[in-house]
C-alpha cells in the first residue's frame, strides 16, 4: 500500500513539475513574452528580448512553441487538452495533463 501511494505521489509531482516548467518558459525573462493574439487553441507571442514572434499551440499530445518561420520546441508532453484566453494583459492557460486539469494566470 505504501508503494502504491509513493508511485501515485511521484506521478502527481511529475505532472505538477511539467506544468510549472511550462510556466517558467512562458514567464521567462530570457524571452520577455508579450501576447499579440489569442485564439482558443493557440497564442501568438512576441519576445521583446529577441524581437521575434512565436506561436504556442496544442499539437497532437503536446503544447509546443514554434517560430513563425518554422521549427518548434515541445514545452509540455502528455497533454489531453489546452486552451488559452486573455484579459487586460493576463494570459490564462488551461491545460489537462494525463487527465489532471491545471490553470494559471501569467502577466505578460
CA angle in degrees (0–180, nearest 5) for 56-64-107: 45
pTM over 0.75: yes
Q: Give the torsion through C-alpha atoms of 88, 92, 62, 46, to 10 deg.
A: 20
Q: Beta 90-97 vs 70-77: how paired, if at all?
A: unpaired
Range of the domain at 20: 2-107
What share of the chain has pLDDT > 90, as a percent?
74
Mean pLDDT split into 10-residue runs, the chain, 108 residues: 40 77 94 93 94 96 92 92 94 94 94
When divided into structural domains, the chain yields a total of 1
Amino acid at each position: 500500500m505504501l508503494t502504491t501511494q509513493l508511485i501515485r505521489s511521484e506521478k502527481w509531482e511529475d505532472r505538477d513539475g511539467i506544468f510549472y516548467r511550462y510556466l517558467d518558459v512562458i514567464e521567462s525573462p530570457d524571452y520577455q513574452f508579450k501576447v499579440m493574439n489569442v485564439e482558443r487553441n493557440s497564442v501568438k507571442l512576441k519576445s521583446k528580448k529577441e524581437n521575434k514572434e512565436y506561436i504556442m499551440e496544442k499539437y497532437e499530445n503536446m503544447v509546443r512553441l514554434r517560430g513563425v518561420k518554422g521549427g518548434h520546441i515541445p514545452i509540455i508532453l502528455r497533454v489531453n487538452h489546452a486552451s488559452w484566453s486573455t484579459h487586460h494583459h493576463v494570459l490564462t492557460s488551461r491545460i489537462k495533463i494525463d487527465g489532471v486539469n491545471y490553470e494559471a494566470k501569467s502577466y505578460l
